[in-house]
Amino acid sequence: MIPRRSLITAPAAALFAAPERIEITSVKAAPFQLRRAAAFGTNRFTSDFDPNRWRWFGPFSQLTGAILVQIRTKQGITGYGMGGGGGAAVYAIDNHIQDLLVGANALNVEMLWEQIFASTSFYGRKGVAVQALSGIDLALWDIAGKHAKKPVWQLLGGAVKEKAMAYYTGGNLELALKLGFKAFKMSMPLGPADGDGVKQKIVDMLTRARNTIGPDNLLMIDCLCRWNVPFTLEMADRLQGVKLHFIEEPVLPDDLSGYEKLCAEVKGTRIASGEHEYTHYGFDILLRHKAAHFLQPDLTWSGGLTAIRRVATNAASYSVPVFPHRGGSAFAMQLVISHPNCPMAESFMTGEGGDDLMRLCAAPFENGYYRAPEGAGMGVEFSEAVLRKHAPQLV
């Protein structure tokens, strides 16, 4: 009788080999501001009723609250990921989340995401805890790519497009035109709180913008949640001649019924939302309620690559495109270039006068399009000099 063990061929035996293990030895995080807090409001108020009190976002939101996560391994591979939540997220990582990582296998990226999300859910689910998880998840994917000696987008199945059309966010439309952009998004600083005559001011402002960029390019606005449902519906009707591609975040993120009504009734344009939504669970609610025509998750605070990859796939089944917020970053482009449901990427630093740190974290840009970085992992190398300048806690 032939011994049973000899029936297993050498290639088949390899299937039963122990999985590779890249052991995590340390997890650190540090705040690093990509924008000053003053860029997102002021803490100087004239009274209890000062409108600035509704617009002071503080040090934990947007690019003001960016963090850099550093994960080191026993095998000498170091991963970096950008997250959000500022010092509050760093505290959560230092005092809780790192317990779930040190000693674990860094290559079990999705399992670690699930464990961290479950363990922070009693105080997290959205906001700071998920912003911290986002940075960790991106750092783990960075390690996976560096271990495989491949860009992360190749680990996700490879490119589905050679390059991604970019849309410019900012106020210098003339410069953006020179850079080759064919899609433009403007911040909308005016709303119902600005009194009589504001509606015509908005029409005039956007008519000038349309005349500047020409009739065939895309024009969008970001309302930063300043509007309400009736105001949005009326303005969409008034602005039909301007041909807005979308109105972004006209009302607060939790006004689900408001977004449902807008998506059902708006004329002449569409509604974009999701920059301030969290994980595939939150985006699934928006999709099931038909509360957005376009989704705009940010990989650095909405749940990382693991979560937003699920969002993009789920949204495709609803025929809802995904335009990642700040999709021109090296981190977000790993998803954009590898997923068929991400047709456009928002600008990251390009044409906005960013500093050396933003330039380092941006994907390659040329004539209105972004490409994914070619380097292993996320394709971003944080030198000791960069860390000493922007995140000295990680040196």
Which residues have a catalytic role annotated? 325
Say how many C-beta atoms besides its own lie within 10 A of residue 281's C-beta.
15
**CA atoms of 56 and 82, how far apart (whole Å):** 23
Q: Which helix (H) or strand (E) holds 236?
A: helix 229-238
One-letter amino acid for residue 345 of the chain: A
For tokens 């095998």, what's the residue?
Answer: 75
Q: Tokens standing for 104?
A: 């674990």
Those residues whose C-beta lies under 8 Å from the C-beta of residue 294, and which sit 6 or more positions away, are: 246, 270, 271, 272, 273, 274, 320, 321, 322, 323
**CA atoms of 43 and 46, how far apart (whole Å):** 10
End-to-end CA distance of the chain: 62
Inter-residue contact 309 to 339 (CB < 8 Å): yes
Q: 243: which DSSP letter?
A: -
Those residues whose C-beta lies under 8 Å from the C-beta of residue 247, and which sit 6 or more positions away, are: 220, 221, 223, 232, 235, 236, 266, 269, 270, 271, 272
Nearest-CA neighbor of 255 among 215, 216, 213, 226?
Answer: 226
Q: Is the dihedral of CA 351, 333, 358, 97 positive or negative?
A: positive
Say how many C-beta atoms besides its own lie within 10 A of residue 104's C-beta.
18
E strand map for the chain: 24-31, 67-73, 78-83, 164-169, 183-187, 218-222, 244-248, 271-273, 294-295, 344-346, 365-366, 369-370
Those residues whose C-beta lies under 8 Å from the C-beta of residue 253, and which sit 6 or more positions away, are: 225, 273, 276, 277
- Burial group, residue 72, by CB count within 10 angstroms (0-12, 13-18, 19+): buried
